[in-house]
Amino acid sequence: MPNKCCLNTVRKTTFYRFSNSCNLAILLFIILFATTVKAQNDSINKKSDSINAAIVQDFNKKLGLIEAQRISDSLKKVALETELKSLKTTDNLKKAALQKQLQALSKQDSIRIAEKKQQIDSLRKTVKGHPVVGFFNDTLFIIYNKLGSFSAKDRANAISERIRTIAGELAFNGKSIKIVESETTLDIVKGEHIIMSVSENDAIWNKTSKTALAQKYKIIISDAIIKYKQETSLSTLAKEIGLAFLVLLIIYFLIKYIKKLFFWLETKIRKEENHRIKGIKIRNFTLFDAHQQVNALLNVNTFLKWLFIALIVYIALPILFGIFPWTEDFAGTLFGYILNPLKKIALGFWNYLPNLITILVIIFVFRYALKGIRFLKNEIQKGNLEIPGFYADWANPTYQIIRIIVLAFMLVVIFPYLPGSNSPVFQGVSVFLGFLFTFGSAGSLSNIIAGLILTYMRLFKIGDRVKIGEVTGDVIEKSLLVTRIRTIKNEIISIPNSTVMNSHTINYSSDAPEKGLIIHSTVTIGYDVLWKKMHEVLIEAATRTELILPEPKPFVLQTSLDDFYVSYEINAYVKEANKQAVIYSNLHQNIQDVCNENGIEIMSPHYRAARDGSQTTIPENYLDKDYKAPPFHLKINKED
């Protein structure tokens, strides 16, 4: 059985662990984490303790029956031995019978002991022992079984208290602790006080004899008390306090000179700005200028300074704790906060390595599958691969849909290999995120579906001049959520795809390159101008307009005959649908010019009502030099 009372071993291992320390910030985090984990494990430990108590209770019942049988056999054996001694030397037959009975009892006692060993061996992996605690929270030995009315826990606590009481005596001699034999146990005593009793069950639990176990416990108790006396003596305490001050002094000077070293480095870095430190350039791109590089180096210098200080403090704490025996265990605890999680992380990573390799293989396969799909997409876009009924502008959106499906399938395949994927917390978070995504993206999903429908309906493409609702402009972006249009005034208007689906859409550019787009404008002219003349004038104006096609020829439609004028509509073919504003402007200018050249006035009915005696509306450049405004005509009727 391991003896944990040897404090020298702990001290040796403490100094060995100093080289494995980390910084103080990580320590504080792990302390908080360990506290949380401990709180979570309390319920599990309580449940385990209750199961352990039930097992021990059942075991004690069986041992009670065996012990009762042993007492009965012992009484019989004493009676037989007494009777055997009282017989005369001539009673050989009766002596033989009594000796036979004694042999049967001895044999039965051996069977009893073997049965007890078998019972105890079956409980070694499940029954939890209780430690006898020394003076500095170290374990001297373990108690596994009850004795009389004392449970194993009560025995361990009582023995620990008795050892501390003895250690409080001023004069102590290891020889004063002795072993005394009683009826069924061996008692370890000091004077008239019993420290503990060693039973047959204790010996079986420790796989030894009662005498050897009692002798071992006697030595452990004596050594622990003597060591405690030595380590708590005034001379030892004085040495330990002096050593602690020496350690603190060393720490002070180390921190002081580390600060000086890093301050010197900081000054050196500042002096080298624009000298040795000139910034970092990658070809013509300046990644860091000199000032930025100096700031980055100063930040690194500050980080390293505090890292070294934290490291020194963290190393110093276990050294200080290790000096005094009652705080010596803190050193191992501090290192345990770092080393135990690191060990768990390393073991967890090692155990997870097969799953990690599986995930990497899955990602590798799906990555090259997506590369193959992307190659097909590029070939369709370039026109190298043609699929009947599948348009080239469908290639990219179809690829994006397939890509999302493939990635989603990849996540489904990878999910069982993720760490903690079977835990209720992981599954609960997944369901919660899915819930948020479903209800938080209802509007977005409708826009996405509308975007997909618009893509495959081929209503318009990038660069087309369209009119969506009341918005007219050129399409500059099509996404799954919105369609963006630039108007002729350079305004960027974003229209949700669901709105596009619910509005009427006019595409001016879809047939313009092949069939041409007909632009049209209406002019109202009075009845005094011949319609044939007006047709000629409008067609001439259209012919002069840049970007209007000569073939098919422009044509004129008379759309209405109103009270004061006729409505003439000029129609002409263009292929530049995106330049309608310029074409209309030029067409209107040409209509004005040609009408003026032909003496045709474009005026409203209100102006025409005061026509006699008024100046013509035609600009002076188009009139004769001798032109004069006509006089007013008056007619006087004379009555007889």
Q: Could you tell me how many residues make up the chain?
A: 640
Least confident among 114-123, 213-222, 600-609: 600-609
CA distance 67 to 73: 10
Closest by CA to 8, choosing from 311, 328, 484, 283, is 328
44 vs 242: which has the higher pLDDT: 242
Does residue 264 have a pLDDT over 90? yes
Determine phi and psi for 519, rounding to 5 degrees: -95, 155
**∠ CA 164-169-171, rounded to 5°:** 135
> What's the per-residue H, E or C state across 398-460?
HHHHHHHHHHHHHHHHHHHHCCCCCCHHHHHHHHHHHHHHHHHCHHHHHHHHHHHHHHHHCCC
CA distance 578 to 312: 73
Q: In this predicted model, what pLDDT tens digit does every residue of 524-546 receive, in sequence order?
A: 998 888 999 999 999 999 999 99
> What's the per-residue H, E or C state across 476-545?
EEECCCEEEEECCCCCEEEEEHHHHHHCCEEECCCCHHHHCEEEEEEEEEECCCCHHHHHHHHHHHHHHC
Alpha-carbon distance values, 579 to 261, 511, 556, 583 (Å): 72, 15, 22, 6
Pick the CATH number of 514-622 from 3.30.1360.40, 3.30.70.100, 3.40.50.970, 3.20.20.70: 3.30.70.100
Q: For the residues 594-604, what does the mean pLDDT come to?
A: 84
Domain ranges of the chain: 1-232, 235-323, 355-440, 446-507, 514-622
Does residue 281 have a pLDDT over 50? yes
Task: Report the C-alpha dihedral over residues 524, 529, 532, 537, rounded to 10 degrees.
Answer: -60
Least confident among 93-107, 291-305, 393-407, 476-490: 93-107
Q: Give the contacts of 21 (CB within 8 A, at least 6 positions apart).
A: 311, 314, 315, 318, 334, 335, 338
Per CATH, domain 446-507 is 3.40.50.150: no
Q: For the residues 92-98, what does the mean pLDDT come to?
A: 67
First-to-final CA distance of the chain: 159
Would you call 572 helix, strand, or coil by DSSP? Answer: strand
- Given this model, what pLDDT does residue 543 score? 94
| Domains 446-507 and 514-622 equal at CATH topology level | no
What's the pLDDT band for 444 if we cut at 50, 70, 90?
low
Give 483's strand partners. Answer: 478, 495
Tokens of 313: 């403090």
Does residue 130 have a pLDDT over 80? yes
Q: For the residues 45-67, what does the mean pLDDT come to?
A: 55
CA distance 555 to 559: 13
Per-residue DSSP letter, 129:
P
Say if residues 331 and 14 touch (Cβ distance below 8 Å).
Answer: yes
Is the four-CA dihedral 431, 432, 437, 443 of positive or negative sign?
positive
CA distance 57 to 204: 18
Would you call 189 helix, strand, or coil by DSSP? Answer: strand
Tokens of 391: 């348009």
CA distance 495 to 481: 9
What DSSP element (H or E) covers 466? strand 465-468
Q: In this predicted model, what pLDDT tens digit does every residue of 299-323 receive, in sequence order?
A: 999 999 999 998 888 888 888 877 7
400 vs 98: which has the higher pLDDT: 400
> What's the per-residue H, E or C state across 233-252?
CHHHHHHHHHHHHHHHHHHH
Pairing assessment for the beta strands 465-468 and 471-478 based on DSSP bridges: antiparallel
